[in-house]
């Protein structure tokens, strides 16, 4: 059976007790921790740097960490985040002067590499880079802030990427980021997603496990209809 990955985003976590909050969400069934790195330049918000990731590793967090660089430029931060325990590093093609070089840098530092596509970013970059990618991230909101509504056009884009991967036989994870909730995660799964970045839907809840269990049930229910 296909393994679907839930990736709680720490952008919505309690930073006053971050280590404990992340441990709680992992114990409740989260698979991957999603790091939203914003520079108040490429996107209109300022968040966290490599020291936060390093502190979580020191705290004892061993789960995979998925670093989403919403920064411009990206190369210096690729080096910094790879040294402190990242597993995946993804960036926006518009933020790199030499996309292929940035992808290669991520891999040379021992991490999985990926590109992130904003709602209006063309998939044409994949014509030249798909064979080099481990993960493709589709933004279902405009990046910068949590608790936004899912943009419906993302589903058609998701279907296109799923078909591109399957037709070419690539082993690439498709991650969808933004506006994912219990009532839409099943549909997103049936359109081809493998990993789901979830922020406020989990962290605004008083019971992380209940939300995560409900999301997995919705994915399983929707997936069973395809069989």
Is the model's pTM score more than 0.85? Answer: yes
Question: Would you say the C-alpha torsion 208, 212, 217, 219 has a positive or negative sign?
Answer: positive
Long-range contacts of residues 104-111, Cβ cutoff 8 Å, at least 24 apart: 104/132, 105/75, 105/78, 105/79, 106/78, 106/82, 109/78, 109/79, 109/82, 109/83, 110/82, 111/82, 111/86, 111/87
Q: Which one from 36, 39, 66, 75 is the annotated catalytic residue?
A: 36
Q: Which one from 21, 39, 66, 177 is the annotated catalytic residue?
A: 177
How far, in Å, CA of 26 to CA of 44, rounded? 29
How far, in Å, CA of 98 to CA of 79, rounded? 15
Side-by-side strand order, sheet with 5-8: 5-8, 195-198, 173-177, 135-139, 112-117, 88-91, 65-70, 33-38
Q: Is 180 exposed, middle or buried (0-12, 13-18, 19+ CB in 10 A)?
A: buried
State the pLDDT at residue 197. 98
36 is catalytic: yes
Residue 127 to residues 96, 105, 165, 171, 179: CA-CA distances in angstroms? Answer: 17, 20, 11, 16, 28
204 is catalytic: no
The H or E element spanning position 195 is strand 195-198
What is the pLDDT tens value at each position of the chain, 227 positions in all? 678 999 999 999 999 999 999 999 999 999 999 999 999 999 989 999 999 999 999 999 999 999 999 999 999 999 999 999 999 999 999 999 999 999 999 999 999 999 999 999 999 999 999 999 999 999 999 987 777 899 999 999 999 999 999 999 999 999 999 999 999 999 999 999 999 999 999 999 999 999 999 999 999 998 777 65
Residue 45 to residues 20, 37, 144, 188: CA-CA distances in angstroms? Answer: 24, 9, 6, 27
* Total residues belonging to the chain: 227
């Amino acid at each position: 059976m296909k393994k679907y990955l839930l990736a709680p985003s720490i952008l919505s976590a309690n930073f006053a007790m971050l280590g404990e909050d992340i441990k709680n969400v992992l114990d409740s069934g989260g698979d991957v921790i999603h790091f939203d790195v914003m520079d108040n330049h490429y996107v209109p918000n300022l968040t966290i740097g490599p020291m936060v990731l390093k502190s979580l590793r020191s705290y004892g967090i061993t789960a995979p960490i998925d670093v989403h660089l919403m920064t411009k430029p990206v190369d210096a931060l690729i080096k910094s985040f790879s040294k402190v325990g990242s597993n995946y590093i993804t960036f926006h093609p518009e933020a790199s002067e030499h996309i292929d070089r940035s992808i290669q840098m991520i891999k040379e530092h021992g991490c999985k590499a990926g590109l992130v596509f904003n709602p209006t970013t063309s998939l044409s970059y994949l014509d030249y880079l798909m064979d080099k990618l481990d993960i493709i991230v589709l933004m279902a909101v405009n990046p910068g802030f949590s608790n936004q509504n899912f943009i419906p056009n993302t589903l058609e884009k998701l279907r296109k990427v799923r078909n591109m991967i399957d037709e070419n036989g690539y082993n690439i994870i498709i991650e969808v980021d933004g506006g994912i909730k219990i009532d839409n995660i099943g549909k997103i799964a049936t359109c081809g997603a493998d990993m789901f970045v979830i922020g406020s839907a989990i962290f605004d809840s008083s019971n992380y496990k209940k939300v995560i269990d409900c999301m997995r049930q919705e994915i399983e229910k929707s997936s069973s209809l395809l069989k």
